[in-house]
C-alpha cells in the first residue's frame, strides 16, 4: 500500500492553499482556451511554458495538469453551443449536442457532458493511480532496443493516424525529425544543419516551433479566410432545474460508464488519441440504443454522454505512457514532456521513483481538478458563453500577441520572434494544404530521443542490426505497429463514412 500513502502525500501537497490556487487557475485557463475556438490545451501550455520558468516545478506541473483537463471540458461547451465543431476530440458531441441545443435542451446536453466528464475522468484517474506504478515497475526492465521500438511505434501511429492523409502525416513527421536534428549532436559533439549560425548550435527551441505552428499558424490561417459577422450562439435556458431531468439521468449513467471503459484503454495505446475514443463510444451507444436509435443524429442524450465521458477518460489514459514510458501519443502530451524537460525532469520508468512526490501531486491534482471543473463549469456557463462571444479580430490579435510574448520571453532575443514568424508561416502553409501539425511537434520532441536510443543499442550490439528485434518485447512492438495501423486506418474510414 505504499502507493496509497504516496497518493495521500500527493493530496496533502495539492491541498496546500497555494497549490489549490494554481490548480484553480489552471482549470480556469484550460476551460477558457477549450471554449475559445482556435486555441487548444497544447497551445496554451506551450505559450505558458516560457512564462512559468520562475515557478517551482510542482506548481507549474499542477497548473499544466489543470489546463490539460480544463481544455477537455471547455471543448464540449463550444461544440454544443456553437454551430461549428470545436477541438477535434469533441466533433462527435457536436452532432448530437448541437441538435439538443437547437431543440432547447442545451442545458441538459451541457450537464450530461460535464457530469459525464467528471465521472469518467475520476474513474480514469483511479485507473491511472493503480496502473501507472505497475507499468513503471515493468518498464524498468526494458532495454535500449525496446525503447527504440516503442518510439518507432509512436512515430508510425502518430504520423499515420493524427491527420486525414497518411503521406502528409509522414511528411510532417519527417519535417519534425529534421528540426530535431538541427544543433549539436549529443554523442559526438558535431554540429549538424546549423548553417554556421551560432544561435542554432543549441538546436531550435521546441517552444518556438509549437507556439509558431499552433498559435501563429492558426491565426494566419483563420485570418486568410475569416468567417465575418457576429458569432452565432444557441441560447441556453437558465436555472439549474433545467439541467437534467430524471429521465436524462437514467439514460446517461450507462453511457458515462461505458465511455470511461472505452476511453481509458484507447488513450493508453498510441492509436490516434481521444478522437478514436469518442468515435468508438458514439458507435457503441448507437448500437446499444435499441428503440431510441432513431433519435441518433437528431439529438440523443446518449450520444453526448458517452463520447464526452470517453474523451475525458482517454485524456487520462494518455498520461499512462507519458508518465511511465516518457512516450507522448498526442501533441498535448508531447508539450507536457517539454514542460517536464524544461525543469530538468525526464519522464520515463524512473520518474515514479526519482520524482515520486511530484508525480503523485500531479495525480492528486487530477482528482481535485476534475472536482473543480464540474463545480466550475455548470454554474459558470453564462460566463463561458460570454468568452465565446469575444470578437474574432481581438481574439486572434491576442493570440498573436501572446505567441510573440512567449517566444520573446525564452531568451529575450528578438531573433526568436522572427523565427516564430517564419515557423508560423510554415504552419499556415501546412494548414492550407492539409498537412497535420501534430506529427511535426511529436517528431521534433521524440526524434533526438529515438536517435539516442538507436545509437546506444547499436553501440551495445557493435553494429548488429538484428539486436534491435532480438528482445521479445521489441519484436512484439514491431508486429503491433502493423495491427495498430490496420485497426486505426479502418476506424478512420468508418468515422469518415459515419460523418458523410
Partner 1 sequence: MLALATTALGAYVLVAAGSITVPGSTNTLGPRAFPYLVGGMLVAAGVVLTVLILSGRAGEEEGGEDVDPTVRTDWLTVVLLVVTLVVHVFAINVVGWPFAAALLFAGAAVILGARPWWRAALVGLVLGLVIQVIFGGLLGLSLPAGPLLEGVPFLRG
485 binds partner 1 (CB under 8 A): no
Which residues have CB under 8 Å from 466's CB, separation 6+?
Answer: none
Closer to partner 1 by Cβ: residue 230 or 379: 230
Rg of the chain on CA atoms, in Å:
22
68, 336 contact by CB (below 8 A): yes
User: Measured from the CB of residue 315, what is the shortest distance to partner 1 in angstroms?
Assistant: 20
Residues 39-68 that bind partner 1 (CB under 8 A): 51, 54
Residues 223-242 that bind partner 1 (CB under 8 A): 223-228
42, 80 contact by CB (below 8 A): no
492 binds partner 1 (CB under 8 A): no
The secondary structure of 421-467 as a DSSP string is HHHHHHHHHHHHTT--SHHHHHHHHHHHHHHHHHHHHHHHTTT-TTH
| Spatial distance between the Cα atoms of 161 and 373, rounded to a whole number of angstroms | 30
User: Measured from the CB of residue 422, what is the shortest distance to partner 1 in angstroms?
Assistant: 9
User: Measured from the CB of residue 10, what is the shortest distance to partner 1 in angstroms?
Assistant: 26
12 binds partner 1 (CB under 8 A): no
Residues 242-301 that bind partner 1 (CB under 8 A): none
Facing residues of 82 across strands? Answer: 233
The grid coordinates of residue 103 equal 431543440
User: Measured from the CB of residue 404, what is the shortest distance to partner 1 in angstroms?
Assistant: 6
User: Measured from the CB of residue 214, what is the shortest distance to partner 1 in angstroms?
Assistant: 12
Closer to partner 1 by Cβ: residue 120 or 222: 222
313, 257 contact by CB (below 8 A): no
423 binds partner 1 (CB under 8 A): no
Residues 392-421 that bind partner 1 (CB under 8 A): 392-394, 396-398, 400-401, 404-405, 408-409, 412, 414, 417-418, 420-421
The dihedral over CA atoms of 409, 332, 78, 292, expressed in degrees to the nearest 10, equals -170
432 binds partner 1 (CB under 8 A): yes
372 φ/ψ angles, rounded to the nearest 5 degrees:
-60, -40
Which window, 26-34, 175-183, 335-343, 487-495, contacts partner 1 (CB under 8 A)?
A: 175-183
User: Measured from the CB of residue 172, what is the shortest distance to partner 1 in angstroms?
Assistant: 9
144 φ/ψ angles, rounded to the nearest 5 degrees:
-55, -50
The grid coordinates of residue 59 equal 506548481
Which window, 168-176, 261-269, 274-282, 300-308, contacts partner 1 (CB under 8 A)?
A: 168-176
Closer to partner 1 by Cβ: residue 192 or 250: 192
Closer to partner 1 by Cβ: residue 177 or 352: 177
From 151, 207, 430, 449, residue interacting with partner 1 (rule: CB under 8 A): 430
Site string for partner 1, 84-123 (x = CB under 8 A): xxx-------------------------------------
The grid coordinates of residue 444 equal 521534433
96, 304 contact by CB (below 8 A): yes
390 binds partner 1 (CB under 8 A): no
Site string for partner 1, 446-465 (x = CB under 8 A): -x---x--xx--xx--xx--
From 11, 25, 178, 253, residue interacting with partner 1 (rule: CB under 8 A): 178
Per-residue CA distances from 486 to 352, 483, 491 (Å): 33, 5, 9
Burial class of residue 168, CB neighbours in 10 A (0-12, 13-18, 19+):
middle
Measured on CA atoms in the order 376, 399, 314, 61, is the torsion positive or negative?
negative
Residues 463-482 that bind partner 1 (CB under 8 A): 463
Closer to partner 1 by Cβ: residue 286 or 431: 431
Cα 270 → chain centroid: 12
386 φ/ψ angles, rounded to the nearest 5 degrees:
-65, -40
- CA-based nearest residue to 372, from 122, 124, 129, 132: 122
Query: How many amino acids of this chain bind partner 1 (CB under 8 A)?
Result: 77
Residue 192 is inside which H or E element, if any?
strand 191-192
| Spatial distance between the Cα atoms of 207 and 354, rounded to a whole number of angstroms | 25
Closer to partner 1 by Cβ: residue 360 or 396: 396
164 binds partner 1 (CB under 8 A): yes
Closer to partner 1 by Cβ: residue 218 or 248: 218
Closer to partner 1 by Cβ: residue 265 or 448: 448
Site string for partner 1, 181-220 (x = CB under 8 A): x---x-xxxx-xx----------------------x-xxx
Burial class of residue 405, CB neighbours in 10 A (0-12, 13-18, 19+):
middle
Closer to partner 1 by Cβ: residue 96 or 451: 451
User: Measured from the CB of residue 75, what is the shortest distance to partner 1 in angstroms?
Assistant: 11
Residues 290-349 that bind partner 1 (CB under 8 A): none
Closer to partner 1 by Cβ: residue 3 or 461: 461
Facing residues of 184 across strands? Answer: 191
Amino acid at each position: 500500500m505504499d502507493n496509497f500513502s504516496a497518493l495521500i502525500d500527493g493530496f496533502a501537497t495539492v491541498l496546500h492553499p497555494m497549490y489549490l490556487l494554481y490548480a484553480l487557475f489552471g482549470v480556469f485557463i484550460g476551460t477558457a482556451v477549450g471554449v475559445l475556438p482556435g486555441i487548444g490545451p497544447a497551445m496554451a501550455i506551450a505559450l505558458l511554458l516560457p512564462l512559468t520558468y520562475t515557478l517551482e516545478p510542482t506548481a507549474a506541473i499542477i497548473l499544466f495538469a489543470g489546463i490539460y483537463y480544463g481544455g477537455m471540458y471547455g471543448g464540449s461547451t463550444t461544440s454544443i453551443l456553437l454551430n461549428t465543431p470545436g477541438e477535434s476530440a469533441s466533433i462527435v458531441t457536436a452532432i448530437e449536442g448541437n441538435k439538443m441545443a437547437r431543440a432547447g435542451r442545451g442545458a441538459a446536453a451541457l450537464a450530461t457532458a460535464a457530469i459525464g466528464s467528471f465521472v469518467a475522468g475520476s474513474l480514469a484517474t483511479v485507473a491511472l493511480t493503480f496502473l501507472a506504478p505497475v507499468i513503471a515497475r515493468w518498464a524498468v526492465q526494458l532495454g535500449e532496443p525496446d525503447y527504440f521500438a516503442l518510439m518507432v511505434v509512436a512515430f508510425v501511429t502518430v504520423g499515420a493516424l493524427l491527420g486525414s492523409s497518411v503521406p502528409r502525416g509522414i511528411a510532417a513527421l519527417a519535417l519534425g525529425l529534421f528540426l530535431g536534428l538541427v544543433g549539436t549532436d549529443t554523442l559526438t559533439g558535431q554540429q549538424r544543419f546549423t548553417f554556421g549560425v551560432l544561435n542554432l548550435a543549441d538546436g531550435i527551441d521546441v517552444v518556438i516551433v509549437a507556439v509558431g505552428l499552433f498559435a501563429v499558424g492558426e491565426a494566419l490561417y483563420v485570418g486568410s479566410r475569416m468567417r465575418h459577422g457576429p458569432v452565432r450562439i444557441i441560447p441556453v435556458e437558465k436555472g439549474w432545474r433545467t439541467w437534467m431531468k430524471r429521465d436524462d439521468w437514467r439514460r446517461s449513467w450507462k453511457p458515462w460508464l461505458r465511455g470511461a471503459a472505452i476511453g481509458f484503454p484507447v488513450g493508453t495505446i498510441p492509436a490516434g488519441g481521444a478522437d478514436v475514443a469518442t468515435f468508438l463510444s458514439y458507435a457503441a451507444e448507437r448500437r446499444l440504443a435499441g428503440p431510441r436509435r432513431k433519435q441518433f443524429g437528431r439529438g440523443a442524450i446518449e450520444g453526448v454522454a458517452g463520447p464526452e465521458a470517453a474523451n475525458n477518460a482517454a485524456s487520462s489514459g494518455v498520461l499512462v505512457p507519458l508518465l511511465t514510458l516518457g512516450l507522448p501519443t498526442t501533441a498535448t502530451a508531447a508539450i507536457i514532456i517539454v514542460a517536464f524537460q524544461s525543469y530538468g525532469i525526464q519522464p520515463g520508468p524512473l520518474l515514479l521513483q526519482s520524482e515520486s512526490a511530484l508525480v503523485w501531486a500531479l495525480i492528486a491534482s487530477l482528482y481535485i481538478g476534475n472536482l473543480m471543473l464540474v463545480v466550475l463549469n455548470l454554474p459558470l456557463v453564462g460566463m463561458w458563453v460570454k468568452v465565446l462571444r469575444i470578437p474574432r479580430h481581438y481574439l486572434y490579435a491576442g493570440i498573436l500577441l501572446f505567441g510573440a510574448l512567449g517566444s520573446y520571453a525564452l531568451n529575450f532575443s528578438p531573433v526568436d520572434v522572427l523565427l516564430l514568424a517564419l515557423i508560423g508561416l510554415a504552419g499556415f502553409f501546412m494548414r492550407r494544404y492539409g498537412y497535420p501539425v501534430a506529427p511535426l511537434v511529436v517528431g521534433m520532441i521524440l526524434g533526438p530521443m529515438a536517435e539516442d536510443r538507436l545509437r546506444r543499442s547499436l553501440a551495445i550490439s557493435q553494429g548488429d542490426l538484428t539486436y534491435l528485434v532480438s528482445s521479445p518485447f521489441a519484436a512484439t512492438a514491431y508486429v503491433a505497429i502493423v495491427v495498430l495501423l490496420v485497426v486505426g486506418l479502418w476506424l478512420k474510414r468508418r468515422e469518415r463514412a459515419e460523418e458523410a
